[in-house]
Chain A
Amino acid sequence: MTNEEVKEFVSGIHPSASFDETGEWLNINIEALEWKRLSRVLRNPPFNFDYLFCLTCIDWKTFMTVVYHMSSTIHRHTIVIKAKVDREDPKIETASDIWRTAEFHEREVYDLFGVRFVNHPDLRRLILTDDFEGYPLRKDFDDPINMIKL
């Protein structure tokens, strides 16, 4: 399994996807709407990306990216998918039906970034209380009473 094979395959499905190989692993930048189809393809053979080891989000102030680190326990190949989501109304299809670990990780991202995962079985706040206002890991969050920033 090489990066070239993955690239060729992904650009076959989503011609708009862009690639970045400057880092350690192949990064695939996609739009949020393309994630649903792509995730299903990647999980199945021949790629078998069955192990989603990190799911997180980055706030870029004008937009946000949901970052999926996944690898294959068979091929030992790792790729990174970055799905761009709108900052005002962030939503993306859930991956919890493909990788069950995503259920917990998505709840965490929803809790701290406010990204809504469509079709998630149980999308509630995980860490913070239900009546907490705001999303602490966003860049514009500021809590003067319980300071997190130093």
Chain B
Amino acid sequence: MIKKANRKPEERNQHMYSETEILKDTTTITANGTEGKLVINVGPQHPATHGVLHLVITLNGETIEKVEPHLGYIHRSIEKMCESLSYRQFIYVTSRMDYLSAHMNNHACSMTVEKALQIEVPTRAQYIRVLMSELTRIASHELWWGALAMDLGAFTPFFYAFRERETINDIMEQTCGARLTMNYMVPGGVMADIHPSFQQKVKDFIKLFKSNIDEYDELVTGNVIFQARMKGVGYLSKEDAISYGCTGPVARGSGLNCDIRKIYPYEIYNQVQFNEILETAGDCFARYSVRIREMKESIKIIEQLVDNIPEGEFQAKTKAVLKLPKGEFYTRVETARGELGVYIVSEGGTTPYRIKFRSPGFSNLSALEHMVKGSKLGDLMATMGTLDLVIPDIDR
């Protein structure tokens, strides 16, 4: 045993390599006529897919040769459903797409209707919307952080993440009446005014978050094992990020300027000071850093707004039945996962003729095969974790 431990690292590696070789020989399974290759299913019930995503992976030894996503386990045909819902009703369905960014989904839909009907949203409502969106972004990134660490074998961070996330959920519950699918934003503003203790609670949260965020770095970011599993893994170049239509932290980890809040500012995003987080490494660790730093930027935005919510109406006066003019309307917002586009084709009625949700997860998932091809099976979990996939968002 002592002899084994004293071996040089190269020798150890050689030993590991020969094990892989053995594995390759012993697993001569014929699937689709590909001899010597192993076809395994990850999902649809797999802890690391965080939902019902089914990946069929072709392995050569431990090296990934092909990844084939099979979607549709949670497909509800939301787009078809929306065709028979009115412009007030369809917003509620969209909370069920990317349930971690429910506010932003509602936001995008409300904005499309407002754009078509040229409804002026009161400033107070705009402030509340941005505050809620940023709180949601933090909550979503918290969950991602905990789940990613869990995918990589660290269980404790999950509880640390949920400690802060619970506080946000409580704030949401008080004002919106729900913790996950809020349905708070409606055409013309927000559904109800903020709770009297909203501002105080948000300020308490900021204090709590600021004192705890450094723990995240101590626990996970600086960890040697964690870094070894993240750095240089799941590389995505800037050109590929553009070609695959990646958005959000995935593309920003590859150095692509794609923050909708900066490029096409909506609501009051052009009045607040915040930075677009960019990393250029393009690997899992870059995507990880983008999200961690983004949480801090969101706190900055919240700090600027929470004390300055102007007095006034929280909702513009709108007609009971909304009728969109004939035409096509497209709006995009930056959700926690990237660019969400809502494309409404209207024929002038009370229901949309066709509606399309350009979901960020769908495009980000399409880059998965490219990112993991040629790497080891264990790297798939790290890559998938940093893509931050939410399956109902992909399937719709």
Minimum CB–CB distance for A127 against chain B, Å: 4
Q: Does A9 sit within 8 A of B, measured CB to CB? A: no
Quick one: which of B335-369 are within 8 Å of A by CB?
Answer: 339, 341, 343, 345, 353-354, 356, 358, 362-363, 365-367
- Map CB proximity to B onto A49-69 as digits: 1 under 8 Å, 0 otherwise: 011111010110000000101
In the complex, the answer to whether A127 meets B83 with C-beta atoms within 8 Å is no
Chain B residues lying within 8 Å of A127, measured Cβ to Cβ, are 71-72, 75, 395
Q: Number of B residues whose C-beta is below 8 Å from A?
A: 39
Q: Does B240 sit within 8 A of A, measured CB to CB? A: yes
Measured between alpha carbons, how far is A67 from B258 in the docked complex, in Å? 22
Measured between alpha carbons, how far is A54 from B247 in the docked complex, in Å? 12
Q: Is the interface of B mostly helix, strand, loop or mixed?
A: mixed
Measured between alpha carbons, how far is A137 from B75 in the docked complex, in Å? 13
In the complex, the answer to whether B81 meets A148 with C-beta atoms within 8 Å is yes
Chain B residues lying within 8 Å of A103, measured Cβ to Cβ, are 366
In the complex, the answer to whether A59 meets B354 with C-beta atoms within 8 Å is yes
Chain B residues lying within 8 Å of A24, measured Cβ to Cβ, are 329-330
Chain B residues lying within 8 Å of A105, measured Cβ to Cβ, are 362-363, 366
Q: Does A90 sit within 8 A of B, measured CB to CB? A: no
Chain B residues lying within 8 Å of A22, measured Cβ to Cβ, are 327
Contact among A52, A56, A104, A149 for B343, CB-based, below 8 A: A56
Minimum CB–CB distance for A147 against chain B, Å: 10
Interface footprint category on A: 35 or more
Q: Does B80 sit within 8 A of A, measured CB to CB? A: yes
In the complex, the answer to whether B72 meets A50 with C-beta atoms within 8 Å is no
Quick one: which of A38-82 are within 8 Å of B by CB?
Answer: 50-54, 56, 58-59, 67, 69, 73, 76, 80
Q: Does B114 sit within 8 A of A, measured CB to CB? A: no
Measured between alpha carbons, how far is A73 from B243 in the docked complex, in Å? 11
Measured between alpha carbons, how far is A104 from B369 in the docked complex, in Å? 12
In the complex, the answer to whether B339 meets A53 with C-beta atoms within 8 Å is yes
Measured between alpha carbons, how far is A149 from B80 in the docked complex, in Å? 7
Chain A residues lying within 8 Å of B358, measured Cβ to Cβ, are 53-54, 56, 69
Q: Does A101 sit within 8 A of B, measured CB to CB? A: yes
Chain A residues lying within 8 Å of B85, measured Cβ to Cβ, are 150
In the complex, the answer to whether B79 meets A101 with C-beta atoms within 8 Å is no
Contact among A100, A129, A141 for B366, CB-based, below 8 A: A100
Chain A residues lying within 8 Å of B245, measured Cβ to Cβ, are 51-53, 99, 101
Q: Is the interface of A mostly helix, strand, loop or mixed?
A: loop
In the complex, the answer to whether A53 meets B72 with C-beta atoms within 8 Å is no
In the complex, the answer to whether B243 meets A136 with C-beta atoms within 8 Å is no
In the complex, the answer to whether A54 meets B356 with C-beta atoms within 8 Å is yes
Q: Does B244 sit within 8 A of A, measured CB to CB? A: yes
Chain A residues lying within 8 Å of B339, measured Cβ to Cβ, are 53
Minimum CB–CB distance for B267 against chain A, Å: 17
In the complex, the answer to whether A136 meets B343 with C-beta atoms within 8 Å is no
Chain A residue at minimal CB-CB distance from B71: A127
Measured between alpha carbons, how far is A127 from B85 in the docked complex, in Å? 23
Interface centre among B83, B242, B263 (most CB of A within 10 A): B242
Q: Does B270 sit within 8 A of A, measured CB to CB? A: no
Chain B residues lying within 8 Å of A25, measured Cβ to Cβ, are 330
Measured between alpha carbons, how far is A80 from B358 in the docked complex, in Å? 14
Please, could you name 25 A-B residue pairs with CB atoms under 8 Å apart, sorted by A? A23-B327, A23-B328, A24-B330, A25-B330, A51-B242, A53-B247, A53-B358, A54-B330, A56-B343, A69-B330, A69-B341, A69-B343, A69-B358, A73-B257, A100-B240, A100-B244, A100-B370, A104-B362, A105-B366, A127-B71, A127-B72, A128-B75, A137-B79, A148-B77, A150-B81
User: A residues within 8 Å of B by Cβ?
Assistant: 22-25, 27, 50-54, 56, 58-59, 67, 69, 73, 76, 80, 99-101, 103-105, 108, 126-129, 136-137, 141, 148-150
The 9 closest A-B pairs by CB, nearest first: A101-B245, A127-B72, A104-B366, A56-B356, A54-B358, A148-B80, A150-B84, A100-B243, A149-B84
Known: A100-B243, A149-B80. 16 other contacts (CB 8 A): A50-B243, A53-B358, A54-B343, A56-B343, A56-B356, A58-B345, A58-B353, A69-B330, A100-B240, A100-B366, A101-B366, A104-B365, A105-B362, A126-B72, A127-B395, A136-B77
